[in-house]
Structure 1
Amino acid sequence: MRRTLIAAGAVGLLLAATACGGSATGASGGDDTLTIGIGVPAMPWNLAEAGSGPEAQYYQPVFDTLIRLSPEAEPTPNVATSWSYDESRTKLTLELRSGLTFTDGLPVDAEAVRANLMHTKSGTKTAATDLRAVSGVDVIDPDTAVVNLAAPDPALTTALGGVAGMLASPASLTAASGPVGSGPYALDRGATTDGQQYTYTRNPGYWNSSAFPFNKIVIKYISDATARTNALLAGQLDTSPLTAQRAQAAKDRGINVIDYDAGQIQGLFIWDRGGTVVPALGDPKVRQALNFAFDRAAISKTADLGYSAPTTQPFNTKSVAFDEALNSRYLYDPAKARQLLAEAGYPNGFEVTVPDFAGKYAEAQAAMVQSLTDIGITVHLDNMPSDQIFTAILAGKYPMSFFRLEATTPWRTIQLQMQEGSTWNPFRYHDPVLDRMVQEIQFAPDADTSPRYRELNNYVVDQAWNVPWTSVQNLYGISDKVSVTPQAFSLYPPIYQIQTATH
């Protein structure tokens, strides 16, 4: 007997009418144009190599998703109108909307779903990680697909509302000639300059066009936060992420700035927990010492300008795994840090090379270097282009670094960084005790797994897997021409939650 999770019905958010009932004037793009500023570069159009973070905005105009996430990040119908699990939670049946096509004319059907899920799963980036449990897809009929799982995945339906659930034409899975999807827009290659500006024009055959009021979307990659803010102030952008250092200036100039908890943890991330490159990092006492070295309240005040909350935990504050008591585990105590280093055999500290993030996070990096120096650790900054740092970290070049990493649902947080095959576990470290805890959560017969998640959180904090400092508020600037509904656990709001302003 199946347990039905959601039935087909009114699509609600998806069928919402446009706010003004007419055209919108977008920044620098003329009528009906939405111009978005973004601070991260585009990733490959091939979804097998796609990330699932803020770069998702590049994909959203072209690729529709099986499931759509509400502002609270709850799954709602989209291409899939309903879905249900079997009793073992290892078979997910998807009922698909009939009659949809990709812009090349091929049908959006169960065969296309199978081709996409298995192709995306074959990759190495976070979208592929989200599908790790998928073992295959059975095509029952054109409108019914059954996703088979090697083990239960508590976050799968949420993942299918993101990049992992996006659908490309089966004839263009590798996107060798550019992306081909079934989404509300198509990439205008003639008006696109790779690495700078991406232009999308309306797909006239899209099934839910009323949810997207703009005839054209332009996404501009501007890596420099000051330049991006200036473009917003000059009316060249309708939306843009802001840094804490630029938010007040934007407010003073009449820009509407929204701030919300997007589920992002900032701190010193220890990639080499096994001590492969820096042996000291393989000792829990050393990692605990690093946790005592940081004044989290001061970092929140100076580096984040108060747009954050101190934390010692890898899970976001709204997660069932979060335990307020753990935030007292590592109170600022540099003397204690030096004592632990000495006990571990490093009375004079050690040397470590980290990537230089000063271009984007100067204040946070300065706090990191000073705090480590204060306990005897010598930090060497390796300068490289900002668009190459992520690739270098994932390749295992750095044993630790300053970083910001999404912390959405507790299961997805585990998937992203705490399993041997996790994307953000570049040294493939694994802990048998933690592995057991993860399995207990995954196969738990009880509906409420909150105690199990909190037990795992306690263990990870005690073992000092990382050195979280703060849970960071997201800051997003918008012009008076648009309205934006923030998405829980998303740094950048999805394009379907950007509408014309209400008058």
Structure 2
Amino acid sequence: MNFKHSLITSIALAAIAGTAVAQTVRIGNQGDALSMDPHSLNESLQLSVTGNVYEGLVARDKDLRLVPALATSWKQTSPTVWRFELRKGVKFHDGKPFTADDVLFSFARAAGEGSDMQSYTNDFKQVRKVGDSAIEIETKTPFPILPDLLALVYIMSKPWAEENQATRPVDRRKGIENAASFRSNGTGPYRLRERQPNVKTSFVRNGSYWGKIEGNVVNVEYTPIGNDATRVAALLSGQVDVIEPVPLQDVARINASGKSKVLQGPELRTIFLGMDQKRDELLYSNVKGKNPFKDKRVRQAFYQAIDINTIQRVVMRGASKPTALMVGPGINGFDAAMNTRLPYDPDAARKLLADAGYPNGFEVGMNCPNDRYVNDGDICQAVAANLAKIGVKVNLQAETKGTYFPKILKRDTSFYLLGWTPGTYDSHNALNALMRCVDDKGSGQFNLGSYCNPKVDELTLKIQSETDKPKRDAMIKEAFKLHADDVGHLPLHQQALAWGVASNVQLVQLADNFMPFRFMSVK
């Protein structure tokens, strides 16, 4: 860091200290953000971390309601055109002004090669400037919920990206890195101060932020602590102030410590299993010459072999809600009347396998993260044990998300576990990203097993443009029923949030598991 930059930072910190107590919050999480590039991975942990540095045209408040951010207002000027008025006087962290050109650049970058955010932009037809302070987004078909898509499409500085050879996103599938992976330049309430991947990432309050920062926290230190016991010990000893997630077996101990408490609440994320339904032969199986997962009977056998109630009781210690749907309560279009799982029935599962031509079962590889979701490795072990009872031998590969995500995002998998929170809090997001037939524009971008039903696709497009809520809800119900009848995925549960927080720290726990630094205060 040069002297001039150091002086500017010191002056900014001094200014902050004059109006708020210069406080530090230390966060210990089971995993790290894999990159500082806001378009490189559509994963909530990464978007939560980078969302403190970068912003979208719109944002979410403490109640997850849509609010203005880099756009001050928006309106639909025709069925396929939305106009956004841009906020004036905003500067990036390097001092350059925020302009309409940055918005056009960022949307093109998010839609381009290597981006993991294409499912948010796949139905854009054109993004164009309207003068210097407005942009228009034209979509291929009417898209009444378009603004809801944009909260997680963060805006980057076009000049900064060009100067730092970062005009394309970091591609996690190919292991390609660039300057945006380790440095950042957003408009958000916090600046990136230091990035040490898998060790520590530190942030400092942006003293020239255009908006209000409600909390008094100046410095944030984010440290990945993968070991559950170590993470809890760090909280109880005062080495960190916040941990996420709290191991379920340690909730009572933390609450009884007198030093910390556990914040628990429902999460919007659904945990599910996916299967390769496209290849003629699975990559990881002893079945040669054909793909068992192309047979609905095999998929249903796997479903009915999973003892979800025991997983809820033993693995999740009650902190989950078994589900039959790919979205949960709190998501627009969720229908509790449809949320009835196929019964757990190993005998029926064995018969289905036999009817499909696998009376003795078969072997299959399974990919699973062990540091991304609550008890994810244990869930996969339980599923493997359940499937063993019907003759299926699961060769489980559980690994850190740093290697897991690049692997499965390349579709280098036969059977995998994933979690999904619709970034729009609407069922269309899950349909478009998880259940739509895969194309090269972003449709079905996270449909990693390539499930495909043209009728579901047709309904997804209709749902996208329908403004009549009863009609829209009916179409969502129909699409979900088609997917369920196909056994397109194996939904498991919605997990519960559990954050450990020191007694002198106040923060807001959001149901999407995002952790905005701007709401944090130290007493």
Give the SS at the match of 2:93.
coil
Amino acid in the other structure paired with 2:409? L
Of residues 345, 354, 357, the one that matches 1:345 is: 357
Of residues 478, 485, 495, the one that matches 1:455 is: 478
Task: Name 1:113's counterpart in structure 2.
Answer: 103
Give the SS at the match of 2:151.
coil
Identical residues among aligned pairs (%): 23
Give the Cα separation in 2 of the matches to 1:146 and 1:73: 24
Give the Cα separation in 1 of the matches to 2:46 and 2:160: 23
Task: Name 2:256's counterpart in structure 1.
Answer: 252
1:305 to partner: Cα distance: 0.5
1:349 to partner: Cα distance: 1.4
Task: Name 1:295's counterpart in structure 2.
Answer: 307
Amino acid in the other structure paired with 1:417? L
Of residues 423, 426, 437, the one that matches 2:448 is: 426
Task: Name 2:204's counterpart in structure 1.
Answer: 201
1:212 to partner: Cα distance: 4.4
1:423 to partner: Cα distance: 2.7
1:314 to partner: Cα distance: 0.8
1:58 to partner: Cα distance: 2.5
Does the 8 A contact of 1:273 with 1:465 survive in 2? no
- Which deviates the most, 364-373 or 244-253? 244-253
Does the 8 A contact of 1:268 with 1:467 survive in 2? yes
1:56 to partner: Cα distance: 1.8
Task: Name 1:484's counterpart in structure 2.
Answer: 507
Give the SS at the match of 2:221.
strand
Superposed CA offset, 1:309-340 (max 9, x none): 11111111233433334343401111111111
Amino acid in the other structure paired with 1:138? R
- Which deviates the most, 174-183 or 67-76? 174-183
Give the Cα separation in 2 of the matches to 1:240 and 1:152: 42
- Which deviates the most, 31-40 or 328-337? 31-40
5 Å-filtered alignment, 1:27-106, equals 31-88=22-79, 90-106=80-96
Does the 8 A contact of 2:32 with 2:197 survive in 1? no
Give the SS at the match of 2:220.
strand
1:386 to partner: Cα distance: 4.3
Task: Name 1:10's counterpart in structure 2.
Answer: none
Amino acid in the other structure paired with 2:419? R
Superposed CA offset, 1:89-117 (max 9, x none): x2121111111111222211212111111
Amino acid in the other structure paired with 1:198? T
Matched, 1:228 2:231: yes
Give the SS at the match of 2:384.
helix
Task: Name 2:323's counterpart in structure 1.
Answer: 311
Give the Cα separation in 2 of the matches to 1:385 and 1:316: 26
Task: Name 2:387's counterpart in structure 1.
Answer: 372
Does the 8 A contact of 1:48 with 1:123 survive in 2? no
Give the Cα separation in 2 of the matches to 1:473 and 1:130: 26
What RMSD, in angstroms, separates the aligned Cα atoms of the two structures?
Answer: 2.4
Of residues 259, 266, 282, the one that matches 2:294 is: 282
Matched, 1:268 2:273: yes
Does the 8 A contact of 1:136 with 1:149 survive in 2? yes
1:121 to partner: Cα distance: 1.8
Give the Cα separation in 1 of the matches to 2:45 and 2:145: 19
Task: Name 1:158's counterpart in structure 2.
Answer: 148
Does the 8 A contact of 1:300 with 1:308 survive in 2? yes
Give the SS at the match of 1:227.
helix
Superposed CA offset, 1:471-500 (max 9, x none): 111111111222222223x12322233334
Does the 8 A contact of 2:261 with 2:500 survive in 1? yes
Give the Cα separation in 2 of the matches to 1:374 and 1:358: 23
- Which deviates the most, 210-219 or 90-99? 210-219
Of residues 170, 180, 184, the one that matches 2:185 is: 180
Q: Classify 1:92/1:269 alpha carbon distance in 2 versus 1 (closer, same or farther; 3 Å).
A: same
Amino acid in the other structure paired with 1:446? D
Give the SS at the match of 2:230.
helix
Give the Cα separation in 2 of the matches to 1:328 and 1:352: 27
Give the Cα separation in 2 of the matches to 1:186 and 1:353: 42
Matched, 1:469 2:492: yes
Give the Cα separation in 1 of the matches to 2:146 and 2:228: 34
Superposed CA offset, 1:151-180 (max 9, x none): 344553223222x13434542262626211
Give the Cα separation in 1 of the matches to 2:142 and 2:159: 27
Does the 8 A contact of 1:60 with 1:495 survive in 2? no
Does the 8 A contact of 1:195 with 1:221 survive in 2? yes
Does the 8 A contact of 1:39 with 1:222 survive in 2? yes
Give the SS at the match of 2:85.
strand
Gaps of 5+ in 1: 1-17, 24-30
Does the 8 A contact of 2:104 with 2:128 survive in 1? yes
Give the Cα separation in 2 of the matches to 1:61 and 1:357: 25
Give the Cα separation in 2 of the matches to 1:253 and 1:462: 48
Q: Classify 1:323/1:337 alpha carbon distance in 2 versus 1 (closer, same or farther; 3 Å).
A: farther
Q: Classify 1:496/1:412 alpha carbon distance in 2 versus 1 (closer, same or farther; 3 Å).
A: farther
Matched, 1:217 2:206: no
Does the 8 A contact of 2:377 with 2:398 survive in 1? no
Give the SS at the match of 2:255.
helix
What is the number of residues matched between the two proteins? Answer: 470
1:348 to partner: Cα distance: 1.5
Of residues 112, 115, 125, the one that matches 1:122 is: 112
Matched, 1:412 2:429: yes
Give the Cα separation in 1 of the matches to 2:369 and 2:192: 32
Give the Cα separation in 1 of the matches to 2:157 and 2:257: 41
Amino acid in the other structure paired with 1:347? P
Gaps of 5+ in 2: 1-15, 167-177, 286-290
Give the Cα separation in 2 of the matches to 1:471 and 1:272: 24
Amino acid in the other structure paired with 1:249? R
Q: Classify 1:494/1:125 alpha carbon distance in 2 versus 1 (closer, same or farther; 3 Å).
A: farther
Give the Cα separation in 1 of the matches to 2:457 and 2:34: 31
Q: Classify 1:250/1:431 alpha carbon distance in 2 versus 1 (closer, same or farther; 3 Å).
A: same
Matched, 1:399 2:399: no
Superposed CA offset, 1:415-455 (max 9, x none): 32112132322344422121122122123252441111111
Give the Cα separation in 2 of the matches to 1:309 and 1:141: 50
Amino acid in the other structure paired with 2:315? A
Superposed CA offset, 1:386-421 (max 9, x none): 420111111122211233333442111123211213
Matched, 1:139 2:129: yes
Give the SS at the match of 1:210.
coil
Amino acid in the other structure paired with 1:48? H
Does the 8 A contact of 1:319 with 1:409 survive in 2? yes
Superposed CA offset, 1:234-290 (max 9, x none): 212222212323333322323221222221222432243665416110111111111
Q: Classify 1:165/1:116 alpha carbon distance in 2 versus 1 (closer, same or farther; 3 Å).
A: same
